[in-house]
Structure formats: structure tokens, C-alpha cells
Structure 1
Amino acid sequence: MKHFFTFYIFSSVLLDQFFGATCLDDATAPGDIIIGGLFPIHESVKEVNGTWICDRFSTARLVQSLIMVHAVEEVNKRQVLGNLTLGYRIVDSCSDVTTSLKKALSFMRKNNTRSVAEQPSPPVLAVVGGYHSEISIAVTRLLNLENIPQISYGATTGFLSDKIRFPSFMRTVPEDDHQVRAILNILKSHQWTWVGIVTTDGDYGRYAVQRLEQHAKGTNICFAFTSVLPDVLRDSQLQDSISATVKSITENTNVKVIVSFAKPNHMMYLFNRLLKEPKGKGKVWVASDNWSQSPSILRGRTLSEVGTIFGTTLKSGNPTKFEQYLKNLDVDPEHHRNNVFLYQFLKNQTQQGKRAKPGTANDTAIETLINMIYPYAVFSVELAVEAIGQAVANLCIERDCKTRERLQPSELRDALRKQTFTMDGNNYTFDKNGDLNSGYDIILWNQKSPTTVDVHNIVATFSIKKNHTLTFISQEKQQEVTSVTGDVISICSNKCAPGTRKQSAQGQPVCCYECKSCPENHFSNTSDSTVCDLCDTRTHYSPMGSKTCMLKEILFLKWTDKYHKTLLAFTALGALLTLVVGIIFVARWNTPVVRASVGPICIILLFSLLSTFASVILFGGKPNNKQCKARQVLFGLSFTLCVSCIMVKSFKIILAFEFDPSIKRVLNKLYKPYIIIAVCLSGQVIICALWLALKSPETKWAKLENTKRLLRCEETSNEAFGAMLCYIGVLCLICFGVAFKGRKLPHSYNESKFITFAMLIYFICWIIFVPVYVNVTGQYLPAVEMVVILISAYGILFCQFFTKCYVILFKKEANTEHAFRQDVRNHSLGSISEINSSSVTSIGIQNPAFDVELPMSNSMSLVPLTDQNPPMGSDQSSLSLSPVSNPQLTRLQNDDSFNKKHLKRYSSLPAVICKS
């Protein structure tokens, strides 16, 4: 491969001997060590009468060659090399590869046509230049044949970092990969995502575009078009390519920003055509270092037509010393015969000055040169010369490099690769790729006057060593940039507002997208969001197209709810009535009604009802774990106590009127009311304790609607909840059975029908409650159980106590011992009548005398109700009947055993004493 490139280079050079460009000669200065210089003093070549000559003299490039001259003189002045001096030989590349190769041959000893003895000075040991990457690639291949090191001050293509292909190449500028990152930082800082690219078809342009596209993949920056212009200006396709580029720029109306890696001449031709189109004006151009400091491309046009131009330039140096050098420059052309380029420039300036205004030629020439100083070139060129000078000094410190032990190019190359050199107090060194990563300056072109554009206005710096960061040099510069670019929007699609997300359009780049509304329960709170974030659906929700999540409304049976207020009112009323009943009973404690109702048990019953009403309160309000545990337990225990008391009362009354003495005696021994209540209550205590210990109720969130969530008490164990209710149900069934058995007891003692009615109310409510509770959801679910509990409690309160309170308060004549004795007597007589009637009927005797009113004066006299038989005299009778001769009836009435059996039934009545 190496031989192929060598053949190609020499073929090009030989052809150029016949058809190449004829250019000005060179600039030379004698010295012990000669440095070559390759500068594009002319910017192009053109054909004249079949001969290619250099064209378009560049004052700026002349100034850059003078920077090298000044740097060499400074090294000699400071005697960096001791007794050695540096010399130079500067040639013009004419911005053309073929011309550059021809001129580079003069730097090589083996290919020089003259013998070493005929050479006017020592051979070139190192070369500074060229500026363009394409020229540097070709020249370094040629120079590498003799291992001559080349230090470029402007070639930035990444290809030259390959030390296998370009071992002799070094540079005092970063490679284009870093420049591409700097350009991307400019685009990202302004949020320009829809961008066009213009470049020339060369190694530099292709590499830059490739790296730009590569780095842009992760930044959401897309390129609407990439226009590639032919690298050679005389290419027949150049004008067609420029026309196609103009069409791409004007038709892509959303593209307001264009990145250009083209050469200055190409940009000049492009602007000349583009600015004729109204849609081609007012763009933002991001210029690479190729043309970022070439104001001549405007050809008299102002920035108001072109638009805004940002530029990336290589690291700037301090031009103060060089400016002073130019001010002291002898402007007499004849004193610069050794520098043909400067000679020609001063000569032209002198002629123009004579034609314009005599005596101003000198000032005009110096001013023109100073105005063309590029700070980046001052830094890069001076640094290259300093590196060579200090490397030579280190090599020649202990050897005679002037005469016998001359330096070889390969020695200098290796020394440069390892050399740490100093300039302006800073240390520099080439990295393993031969690059010097000094960073970039970001400039913003300013229109100083109708004919002057400032291309040295540095607004920011780009640091490579500090993680590729872009930093404005001052707040004022940042405001200056913002004032120019603040309204510039270069995007493919309009920004997606919060509440929407970007969705790539079919067949379009990622930067071209549609804005889709976020679905329900999703949100986006930033512009151009790529995704919609999911809300925490447990606590928040959002409608379609929302930019935030909203807190769900928490539902529970609130204290302010009208239904809850109503239930609480009934609860308070029930509790109040319970207390009133208790007060009435205590106040009338010794009356027959209270004593017949088993007073102490009634007080316990009233306390349990009060607790039941209190448990209702726990079913409302915002639930918490403690409340959830307490409400069911309190209700279960209080209502169990209530039913247990009713059951004990029922047993008491049944035992009092049991006819069979043997059964009565056994039951009386087993009847322990408080123990029975405690045993019944302990069963419920065990159920509730196991419930709380193993799987206690707790709060739980439930979703009702998309915008609401329910906070409720979860019973957790339906089995335990059912066991608690079933246990109460079993006790109620026992009460119901006992009450039904005693339905024919004396009126004053007969609570059975009221107990039966109360139990029926309980059964009906709770049977309805179960399916309703299972199927109903929502904030009013606790109200269902509250209603059932209230109905059950009110049923017991009304059935057990209201009739008695009515008698105590409004039927005082019925709340006497006499009234109770009369009730018992009537009940007894009714029972005896039924038995007698049955007996008489069985023997075929009809006795209509039973329809006669009983004479109370001769009625039976009841002693205190004990198990003793009542004394009966010969003149007393249990019943006074009409005088009908009926021996069978008389025998039945005088049967002591019969009367005794009936009277014993009343012996266990609770504390009621009946006297005749």
C-alpha cells in the first residue's frame, strides 16, 4: 500500500511539471536548522492559456506565514538553541493538493534535483503546515518517505490521528471530532434539532459529517439534508451542486440553522446564489474552522442579509507581540526580496497608495496586515515553531548539530512526540496520536460597519479536557448571543406541550413527530416529553392529556354527611332514652313493675344497650386501624351481653310459673343468672379475642371510580365476623324459644311476646343485612350496619322497657301489689277454669256457673307466695259458684292436691307479695 501511495504522489508531481500551476516562489531565511513552511498564500488556482496558475491572493494567509517568520526570529532572539539558529523556507500551497505536493518536494533531500553540495542551506528537518486537511494528508505521505515530521496548524480531520498511516504527522490543534462536539453543544444549548449540513467532498468534510451524525444520535438532533459540494472549484458539477443546495435550503422552511464544513470559496459561491432567494436569507450558520474567520466570503454583503454566523475557531493566542512586530515592519518592498509573498504585497500596497493618496501607503499596508491577524493562527503557528525549537535544543545540547553530527528528521520526529514544551508559561505536549487538545473558541460575527465584519468576537470557549463543556466567557456575551438567537426556532415539529408526548411520524426521522395526548392516569410535565409517566393510581389520577397527577378524593362516611348526621341523631336519641329509662327504673326501684322485671338484670341490660349505641359512633368518620378493631368488638360484646340478659329474664319468669314441682326444683338449682350471663359473654370474648389475635380488622383502600378511592374498614376474616354474628343469633334463638313457651303467663309478668317481637326484629334486620353488606360498596357501607344495629337496639329498648315505663309513669294504679295479685288471681282462675271445664266435660257435666263473676269478697286468699299450701277454712272456697248440686264438681274444688299444684306455680315470682 505504501508503494502505491508513493507512486501516486510522484505521478501527480510529474504530471504537474507539465500541467501544474505556476506560482510565486518562496520566503527563505538562512539558519543552522531549517524549518519548512506550507501556507495557502493563494486560495485557488486557475487556468490561463493552458497553464494553471495560483489565484486569489490571501492577505490573511500571508499574515499567518509572517507569524512563522516572527516565531523563528523570536527563538533565535532568545537563543533557545544556544549557538544554533533557525532558518525557514516557506512555500505557497495555493490551496491545491497537486501544487502542494510539487512544492513539498523542495523539502526533501533525496528528491531534490540539486546535490547536497549545491543546496544553498541545510535540508529541511521539519515542516509547519499545511492548513487544509486534504493537503496535509497528501503532503505527510510524501514527507514520510524521509521521516520528515510535519506539524499542522489547521488540519483537523480525524484521519490524521492514525499513526499507522501517518506516523510523521502532528498538529497543534484538536481533531475534528472535538470540533463536532463543540458544534453539537451550540445546537443543544439553543435547542435546534432540525438542521441542515453543507460540506465539501474531501477527507475533512466527509469525516466531520460522519462524526457529527454519529454524535447526534443520542441528542435528538436530526439533519434535514446533507449537501456535498465538489472539492475542486473547477469541477463541472460545482454549479449544479450549489443550485441543489440552494433548493434544499429554501424548500426546507423549518430549517433555520445550517452547519457548514465547506471551504471559504465554496461558501462564497453558495452565498452569492443563495442570497438572491428571499427564503435563503436570515438563516443561522454554524461555521467550522474552515471558514469561520473568512469575512471575504460575504463580498460586501451585510449580516442582515445573511443572518447569524457562529463559528468554531482553534484556540486563540496573544497577538500583542506579533502586532508590535508588524508595526515595526519595514514597508519598503525592496528590503523583503527574500520573502516574495511579502514583497509582492507591499509592492501592490505602494502602487495603490500612490494612486489613492500619496504618503498613506505605509500606514495602509501595516493596518491591513494587523486587521488580518487571526488569534488562533498566532497560537497554533507559534506553538509549532516553539515545539521544534525546544526539541532541537534538547537534542543538540550535547552534540555538534551544526557541522559533524547533523540532526536527522527521524530523530527530531521522535523527540517531538515525547517533548514537553513551554509557551507563555504553559506546558504542552503531543498525545499518543500526535494531537494537541487545546480546545476551541466560539465566535459570533458582528457587523461593525457597512463594510467591516468582526470575526474575532469570542463569546464562549469549548474545553476538551473538562468533559467537553461549553462555557460563556461572560454574562454580557451570553446576553449578546441570546439577543441574536432568542427567537430562532429550528425544529421539524412544533413542541409538544405538557400533557402530551412525542410520537415519531411514520417514515420520518426521530425529530419529526406527532404530539399524542397522554392517556388516562398518565402525565407529562415537560415540553417535548418522549414518554408519559404513570401516576400512582393508588392515590392519584389524571384525565387524558394531563400535565400533572391529581390526588384522588378520599371517600368515607364523613361526619358532615347528612345521612351520617341522621344516624348519629338516632344514636344520640337512643342513648338518651336508655339513660332516661335507667333513671326511671332506679327512681321506681321498689315498685312491682321493676321488681317483676328483675331490676338488677335490667340495669345490666340498659348498660349493654348504651354500649351498643356507643358502638354505632365508631362506624362513622375516617377509619383507622384502632377504630376498625374496636367497632365490631364493642358491638359484638355489648349486644351479646344484651341478649344474655334477656335470656336470663325469660328463664326467670318461666321458672316462676312452671307447674311441675320436680322440674322446677332442678331448674332452680341450675339457675344462676350472673354466671349464665358471664358464660354467654365469655364465648363472644373468645371469638373476638381470636379474631383480633389472628386476623384483626384493618383499614383498606378500595378503588371506586377513577377519580376516587374509598377508605374503609376491612373485616379481614369473614369467618370470624360471621362467627360473632352467628353466636349472637344462637342466643337470640334461645331467647325466642323460651319467650314463645311463656306466651300465656300473667299479663303483669308476661314479657315473652315483647321479647319474641324484639328477637323477630333482630332476625329480620340481620338476615337482610348479610346480602346487602356483601353486595353494597362505597362510603355508605358502614351506614348499613349502623342502621341494622340501631333497629336491633331500638327494638329491644321499646319492647323491653317502654311498656313498663308507660305503666310506671302513666298507669300507676297498675304498678301496685294489689293489681299484680289480681292479675295473678285472674290468670290462676283462668287456668283452673280451663282444667275444671276439661274435667267436667270429660264426665259429661255442663256447668254454666263459670260465666258468673267471681265474688271478690269470697275469693281465695293468697298468702305470701311460697311452696306452702294456702290455709282454707270450711267456710272458704276457692270459687263461689251458683248453688247447683254437683258432687263431682264439689269434690274437684275441694281437692287440696289440685289447689296446691296450681298455687305452687306462683311461689317463684320475683319479690312480689300478694296479700288478701
Structure 2
Amino acid sequence: MGRNNRELKFARTLIFTVEQINSSPQLLPGVTLGYRIYKACGSNHLMRAGLEAVNGAEQGCGSGRVQALLGHSSSGPSGDINRAIGPLHVPQISHLATCACLSDKKQYPSFFRTVPSDQFQVIALVQLMKHFGWSWVGIVYSTETYSVEGTVEFIKEAKKEGICVEYTELFQKIDTVNFNKIVETITHSTSRVVLVFMSLSYTQDFLKKVGRNVTGKQLIGSESWITTASLALESGSVLQGAMGFAIPESDIPGLNEFLLSLKPSDAPQSSHIRVFWEDVFHCSFSPSNTSKLCTGSEDLRTVVNDYTDTTETRTVNNVYMAVYAVAHALHNLLQCENGLNPTTGRSCINKTEVMPQQVLEQLRLVNFTTQNGNKVSFDANGDSVAQYDLVNWQIGEDGSANIVNIGRYDGSKPDGQKFLIKDNFKIVWGGNHAEVPRSVCTEPCPPGTRKATNKRKPVCCFDCLICPEGAISNQTDSSDCFLCPPESWPNENQDMCVLKPIEFLSFEEIMGTLLTLFSCFGVFLSVLMSIIFVVHKHTPIVRANNSELSFLLLFSLTLCFLCSLTFIGRPSEWSCMLRHTAFGITFVLCISCVLGKTIVVLMAFRATLPGSDVMKWFGPLQQRLSVLAFTLIQVLICVLWLTLSPPFPFKNMEHFNDRVILECALGSAVGFWAVLGYIGLLALLCFVLAFLARKLPDNFNEAKFITFSMLIFCAVWITFIPAYVSSPGKFTVAVEIFAILASSFALLICIFVPKCFIIVFKPKLNSKKHLMTKTTCQAYLLAFWS
């Protein structure tokens, strides 16, 4: 009966509006609007209005033809009516038929409505869910056209915005098994938001049979029921926090008094009003033993139902605007100035000549504002401007529902401004949650990860994959990761790029400090041995070992130890050029001295043979010139290297991903290996000559020590090559320094330590007698240098 009460309210609103228009001197002056109201409870009654539009006026109902039809309240019946009258160009205006399907002008050519199409409601609902981050929702719908079409449109629009539907459950009034299935689906679902897209009658049944078993969910309602406060009495706290879009509130002055002043005597021929009266006041107009007798003077203000609810002004305003739309269309048709209609540009017509097709054409053009401030116009599809109030159910302790406006949707505004949530209203959430409920299939991927589609699940159910090495994502739900610039690297969370640390062998770190100490220790030993040789330069062992070459060798070894320091510290253009050239030249000078000493030993042995005078061919001058010549060759190689393609500082970002290695690039690899090759060639020559002289008959055969030192020297540098090539980063430099220090210590220890040991700790052995025990080359050298 509640549904009939509401329809009676719509009918009485139509009567009120027609009477208001008829009493207006501005709108349709001299013209009186009439109306016929049909009770369309079945298919036969439903088509009656269409037939009347075709056949004209009934006998006794006035001389006017039916110019337009108002109604129906439901989408399905409205579509059936328009299929019948559309081909005859009879306009139809509905106040509540919201199905988006009715916007199809091919099927429904003469259909208009003052209620927004569900297409707009669906867009508003999608924006609502997007605003609160609800991307994982469930839907309950019914078999009626309004519900089915609205659900299909919602799924389509939601997909565009990345919102997924976990389930769609069809509610049927008479299927008990279906009730249990719906409850089980909703209860066990992971989505927290449930869209109930049904008409009022279906929603009433749904809440009675299913609703109380659905707890802890955020219900979203369609406009057909979201403002029906009486539903709270049937559903308990299930509707607490429910949200939805409703037709905007709009007060119509004088309408409430008109509705509440209704008496059966106002329409004595209406059986519907008599039944309504008997039902509301629990009485009967016919004498009966079961109920009291109706007087007809009862006051409607004493009862509460859908008809007497004066707070509900949303839907009746659509009826009000629909009647005014027809009136304005007729008003425009009947204008006449100087024989022409200023609206149509055609000849004036009489009010008795108006045809439905002309009204239809004018309805497409109407654009006016009603007395209560509502703008009325229709687009090409017959739809009115989409405006909604966003409402929130706030149920009190007594079970009464306070439906609060918390936002608005206005389809006439630009994109980005259509949906608005009011800041000064408290929102109550479903399930009595204190905060906005979360309804997502997968929590958003945090920065440092990317979304990856899971083909076995809906698009809202994705995987969050950690960004690969060297890549970041700095936004939530990033679809891709981005590589950092070459000199940057992701931080620990992989959500931002930070500059890579620059690495080089420095004096401050332990390895650099140790190598520096060893280098300084080598310098100290070289200087110490030089002092020992200087102090004992007149002793036989110093004189017999070519003191000039010995001092030059000690000097070159000192330079070798010092040049290792150039490899430590931040590389610069000068240090890169200095370190390799200094190393190459000092080592050649060192090996040249050793080579000179080796040749002298061999010459001295040859000189002890009868009739030999070879020593005159390799005297002090020749020794100096040989050292100078060998060294100048290396100098020439270094000059060419520095001139053509010198070493330079280089940021190596390929060897390690997470740091930059600052090193000295070789420039010309040929130059580098030419320097090393030349050193190796001299060392090999020196080793061969010393090896040949290792068994010469001496008490103190220096060739043995030179052979051993050169063996170590060659071993160090042979192992250096693979170690140098394979060592990463600063360890490459450390390997090179180690090779320099090891080979320098080998020469220093093998050649000079035995002599210094005898000079300092065994002075008795440092005598001519000991050195000349045998006729040896050592004795000859002693005599030669004397």
C-alpha cells in the first residue's frame, strides 16, 4: 500500500500544479489545462493512456485532445507506453523512470524525463567510489529493467575508472534458496562495499529477508530508495552509514497544505481515494461489523505515511517540473505577434488546433526556471540536467533515520568540479567504522614496487613486484619502474635515486694507510742503506760492488717507493699522468742499474782470464751511458704516450652498480703495455745474465743475489698482469702498488741487505784478505775500483 500512497501523492501534485498554472496570468493566459489520471496497475490499464492519445477525448471529458502523457514512475512500463505512442509523436514525460535505455531515441522517440537518467547516477556512483578509494565492490540487483540496465551501466563505467566488481547477485522475491546464497556471498566476500541497485519495492523485500544478516558492510543505494526513511524500521542498523545519490530537495510553496487538506469529498468519483482513506484511518464508508464508519472529515495530519510525509520533497518536484514543461511548450506554441509565432516563426495557431507533434517539438526547446528556482531543459536524448544530493544515513538510538545531505553532484559543471563533498558534515560509515572503510582487492603498491597484472584475477587484483636492481618507483601504484641516471642508484626503499658514493684508494682508509706505511718504510730502508754505504764507502765490500751504481740504484729504489704514493688519493689529471710515467721511468732506471752491475760482474770474470782486456770496454763511462740510454728509451715511450693519449681521471660506472669507481683510465692501452713491456724486457735480460753468472767462483758472488732478486721481480710482475686485469675498483690500484713495493723490496733486500749485514754485524768479513782468498772476479773488481 505504501507504493499506492506515493503514487496518490504524485497525482495530487499534478492536480496542484495544473490549478496553479490555470490561476497564473503570465502562463497560458486564456487557456485552461485539463488532465486525466489513470490507475495503471496492469498491462491493459497501462496502454489505456496511449490509446486515449490516439483516439482523442472521451465523451464528457472536454473538447481537448490529449497533448502529452505524464508518467509512468517505473522504467519498464514507461518504455512500453512510449513504444505505443512514440510513432504517433505524442510526448511522454516521466518523473521517476531513470533507466538509461530510455535515452535511445530510436526506440523511444518521444520520451522525456525530469529525473536524471541512470547513466548520470551511475557516473556519480563511480565518482563516489573513486573518491573514497573503493575499487572492489559487490552488487545486488533485481530482475526489473531499472535494476538490470543500471547494473550493466555501472559495471561498464566502473571498469573505465579501474573499479572491479567482485560479485553480482540477482535478488528474487520468491526464491528462498537465492536469499541464503546472497547472504553467504556478501558475508564471505572481501569487498566491504555493497551496491544495492534496486527499486523501492525490491529493496523493501531485500532488507526484510536478507538485510539483517548483512553486517559490517558499507551499503550504497540507488536513488529509488536511498531517501525512504521508513526502511530503517524494517532493517535495523543495516542501513547505518548507507550512502547514495538522491534527487535534490526542493520546496514547493503551498503543496504540503494542499496534500494534507485532501478529503474524500474532493473527488467523490475516485474509488482509489476511498480505499486510501479506509486504509489510513482503519474505517469503512459502508456499514460494517468489523470496522468503524468513516466520516470523511478525518484529518490526514494525524497519520504518518508516504503520502503525509511532507519532508520528502525530492520526487514530487519532478512531477511539478513535468507539468510546467508541458505548460511552457503549449505557451510557446500559442504565442502570436503580427500573425506569426515568434518562437516557431510560423503562422499563429488556435488553441484548438494544437497537435501532439507540435508539443513534442517545443518540449525539446523549453528552457525555463520554475517558481521554486529549478531550471528545466532537455538535451537531445530527452534527459534533464543531472543533479543529485549525496545523502548519508545516520540512524539514532531510537531507530529513526536522519538522512543528511553531505555532498552534491552537478552534471552541468566542468569535469573535476561535478562531484563535491561538504567539509562541515560528519559522515557516518557502514558497520559503525570510525574511518573510511577500505574496499580493495589488493592494497596499493608502495613506492619501490610496481603493479603487475595477474591474468587469473580481475584487474583490481594485482601483484606488487619489487623494482629490479637499479630502478625505482616514487609513486603509489606505479605501473612501471624507472632506471636511475648513470651516476645515481636507488636508496634502500627503492623510491628515490641518490648519488652513488665515489670510491678510490685514499690515504684515510686502512688499505691506503698500510700501503703508505710500507712505502715510507721502503724509503727509510733505502736511505738507511745509503747512509751505511756512504759511511763505509772506503771499505772493500762497498768498493768491490761498484759504489757509483750502488748509490744510483739506492736512489732509484727510493724513487720507486715514493712513486707508489702517487697511486693513492683522488685521481686528477696530473696525478694520472704522473703515476704511470714516474713508475715506468724510475723502474727502468732501477733495472738499468742492476743490469749494469750484472754486466760488470760478467766482464770482471772475463777480465780474470789470461790475455783479456774487456773491462776497458765497459768502464765507468760506459756504465753511466748504458744506464742513461736505457732510461732515455723509457722516457721517450712515456713522452709519446702523454702526447698522443695520456691517462685521465675516469668515473667507472660499469664495474659496480651501486658505486662509482674513480680511477685513472689508461688513455692509450698500447702506451701502458709498452711501458710495462720495456720494463719486463730489461728485467728478463738482467735475469738471464745474472743467471749465467750465478756460479762464478767468489766468496761473495753478487750475481747470485741479483739472480734471486730478479727472479722475485719477474714473478711479481708476471702475477701482476692477471691480478691487475681481474681486480675490481680500487683493488686494481692496490694490486699495482703492491707489485711496485714487492719488486722494490725484493731488489733492496736481495742486493743490499747481505752487504749491510756484513758491514754492520760482520766487519771482519769486510776486508781484502777475505775477498781475495781466491783469485776471483771479486778480487779483480776490488783491485779495479781501487
Which of 204, 214, 227 is residue 156 of structure 2 equivalent to? 214
Partner of 2:675: 724
CA contact (8 A) 1:129 1:136 kept: yes
Partners of 1:507 and 1:742 in 2: how far apart? 83
Match of 1:672 in 2: 625
**Are residues 582 and 375 of structure 1, via their aligned partners in 2, closer, same or farther at CA, if it must alter by over 3 Å?**
farther
Counterpart contact for 1:265–1:297, Cα < 8 Å: no
> Could you say which residue in structure 2 is the equivalent of 1:681?
634
Alignment partner of 1:89 out of 18, 23, 35: 35
Any conservation in 2 of the 1:699–1:712 contact (CA below 8 Å)? yes
Alignment match of 1:260 (pick from 184, 187, 196): 196
**Residue 407 (structure 2) aligns with:** 460
Q: Is 2:263 aligned against 1:333? A: yes
Contact 2:103/2:383 (<8 A) preserved = yes
Q: Indicate the residue corresponding to 1:131 in structure 2.
A: 73
CA distance in 2, matches of 1:419, 1:597: 123
Report the Cα distance in structure 2 between the residues aligned to 1:309 and 1:97, rounded to whole angstroms. 35
Query: What displacement does 1:479 show?
Result: 3.9
Alpha-carbon distance in 2 for matches of 1:100, 1:613: 111
Aligned amino acid, residue 267 of structure 1: T
TM-score, normalisation: structure 2 = 0.77
| 1:10-89 matches, cutoff 5 A | 56=2, 58-75=4-21, 79-81=25-27, 83-85=29-31, 87-89=33-35
Aligned residues of 1:658 and 1:664 also touching (Cα < 8 A) = no
Aligned match of 2:95: 153
Shift of 1:461: 2.2
What RMSD in Å do the two structures reach over aligned CA positions?
Answer: 5.4
Task: Give the Å deviation of 1:458.
Answer: 1.8
The equivalent of 2:228 in structure 1 is: 294
- The DSSP-based 3-state class of the residue aligned with 2:237 is helix
- Equivalent in the alignment of 1:40: none
Cα–Cα, structure 1 residues 59 and 453, in superposed 2: closer, same or farther, change >3 Å?
farther
Equivalent position of 1:612 in the other structure: 560
1:134-213 mapped onto 2 (5 Å cutoff): 134-192=76-134, 195-213=137-155
For residue 160 of structure 1, give the secondary structure of its aligned residue in structure 2. helix
Shift of 1:792: 0.6
- Equivalent residue letter for 1:272: K
Aligned to 1:226: 169
From 214, 233, 250, the counterpart of 1:318: 250
Q: CA deviation at 1:104?
A: 4.4
Distance of aligned partners of 1:144 and 1:357 in 2 relative to their CA distance in 1, 3 Å threshold: closer
CA spacing shift, 1:61–1:599, aligned 2, 3 Å? farther
Q: Which residue of 2 aligns with 1:853?
A: none
Check conservation: 2:195, 2:220, Cα contact below 8 A. yes
Q: Deviation per CA, 1:223-277: give whole Å up to 9, x if none.
A: 3242153xxxxxxxx412x5413432235422354322322222222322225xx
- The 3 A distance-change label for structure 1 pair 268 and 349 is closer
For residues 728-748 of structure 1, the C-alpha deviation after alignment (integer angstroms, 9 at most, x for no partner) is 111113334555677799989
How do residues 378-777 of structure 1 correspond to structure 2 at under 5 angstroms?
378-398=316-336, 399=341, 403=350, 406-423=353-370, 429-448=377-396, 450=398, 452-455=400-403, 457-464=404-411, 465-467=413-415, 471-477=419-425, 479-481=427-429, 484-486=432-434, 565-581=513-529, 605-606=553-554, 608-617=556-565, 631-648=579-596, 659=607, 664=616, 672-673=625-626, 675-685=628-638, 688-689=641-642, 692-693=645-646, 699-702=652-655, 711=661, 721-737=672-688, 739=690, 752-773=703-724
Distance 1:302 1:159, change over 3 A: closer
Q: Letter of the aligned partner of 1:391 in structure 2?
A: A
Q: After superposition, where does 1:113-128 map in structure 2 within 5 Å? A: 113-114=58-59, 119-128=61-70
Residues 685 and 594 from structure 1, CA distance in 2 versus in 1: closer, same or farther, beyond 3 angstroms? Answer: farther
Q: Which amino acid aligns with 2:164?
A: I
Conserved in 1, the CA contact under 8 Å of 2:186 and 2:214? Answer: no
How many residue pairs get aligned? The number is 755
- Is the contact made by 2:208 and 2:235 (CA closer than 8 Å) also made in structure 1? no
* CA distance, structure 1, for counterparts of residue 708 and residue 93 of structure 2: 114
1:210 CA drift (Å): 1.6
Distance in 2 between residues matched to 1:651 and 1:598, nearest whole Å: 11
The structural deviation recorded for 1:343 is: 8.3
The whole-number CA distance in structure 2 between the counterparts of 1:732 and 1:589 is 28
Report if aligned partners of 1:157, 1:204 keep a CA contact under 8 Å in 2: yes
C-alpha distance in structure 2 between counterparts of 1:343 and 1:359, whole Å? 12
Going from structure 1 to structure 2, the CA distance change for 1:332 and 1:458 (only over 3 Å counts) comes to: closer
Higher alpha-carbon deviation: 180-189 or 597-606: 597-606
Residues 665, 510 of structure 1: CA spacing in aligned structure 2 closer, same or farther, 3 A cutoff? closer
Given the alignment of the two structures, is residue 797 of structure 1 paired with residue 751 of structure 2, yes or no?
no
Q: Secondary structure at the match of 1:304?
A: coil
Report if aligned partners of 2:450, 2:480 keep a CA contact under 8 Å in 1: yes
Q: CA deviation at 1:179?
A: 1.8
CA-CA distance at 1:136 after TM superposition: 1.3
Aligned partners of 1:462 and 1:471 also within 8 Å:
yes
Alignment correspondent of 2:287: none
Residues 828 and 619 of structure 1: CA distance in aligned 2, closer, same or farther (over 3 Å): same
SS in structure 1 at match of 2:382: coil
Inter-partner Cα distance in structure 2 for 1:468 and 1:156: 24
**Counterparts in 2 of 1:817-836, with a 5 A limit?**
826=772
1:116-171 Cα offsets, whole Å, 9 max, x none, are xx541522323332221112111222332431222222212121111122111122
Change (3 A) 1:623 1:203: farther
Q: How does 1:357-372 map to 2 (within 5 A)?
A: 361=299, 363-364=301-302, 371-372=309-310
SS of the residue corresponding to residue 425 of structure 2 reads helix
Q: CA deviation at 1:211?
A: 1.6
What CA distance in whole angstroms lies between the structure 1 residues aligned with 2:29 and 2:42?
A: 38
Moved more, 684-693 or 379-388: 684-693
Do 1:257 and 1:285's aligned partners in 2 also have CA atoms closer than 8 Å?
Answer: yes
Q: Which moved more, 1:773-782 or 1:176-185?
A: 773-782
Gaps of 5+ in 1: 1-54, 230-237, 834-901
What SS does structure 1 have at the residue aligned with 2:353? coil
1:59 deviates by 3.6
The structure-2 alpha-carbon separation of the partners of 1:130 and 1:627, relative to structure 1 and needing over 3 Å to count, comes to farther
- Mapped to 2, the partners of 1:503 and 1:128 lie a distance apart of 53
Query: Alignment identity in percent?
Result: 25
On the 8 A contact 2:507/2:513 being kept in 1, the answer is yes
CA offset digits 1:826-878 (Å, max 9, x no partner): 59976799xxxxxxxxxxxxxxxxxxxxxxxxxxxxxxxxxxxxxxxxxxxxx
Which residue, out of 162, 182, 203, partners 1:248? 182
Q: Distance between the aligned counterparts of 1:529 and 1:473, measured in 2?
A: 25
CA distance in 1, matches of 2:753, 2:676: 26
Secondary structure of 2:73 counterpart: coil
| CA spacing shift, 1:735–1:790, aligned 2, 3 Å | same
Structure 1 CA distance for aligned equivalents of residues 435 and 443 of structure 2: 14
CA contact (8 A) 1:657 1:906 kept: no
Q: Which has the higher contact order (CA 8 A, sep 6+)?
A: 2
Q: Distance in 2 between matches of 1:573 and 1:549?
A: 47
How far the C-alpha of 1:695 sits from its partner, in A, is 9.8
Which digits, 9 at most, give the CA deviation of each residue in 1:643-683, with x for residues without a partner? 23444565677778975558945986796356414423224
Counterpart of 1:239 in structure 2 is 174
Q: Which moved more, 1:553-562 or 1:797-806?
A: 553-562
On the 8 A contact 2:655/2:728 being kept in 1, the answer is no
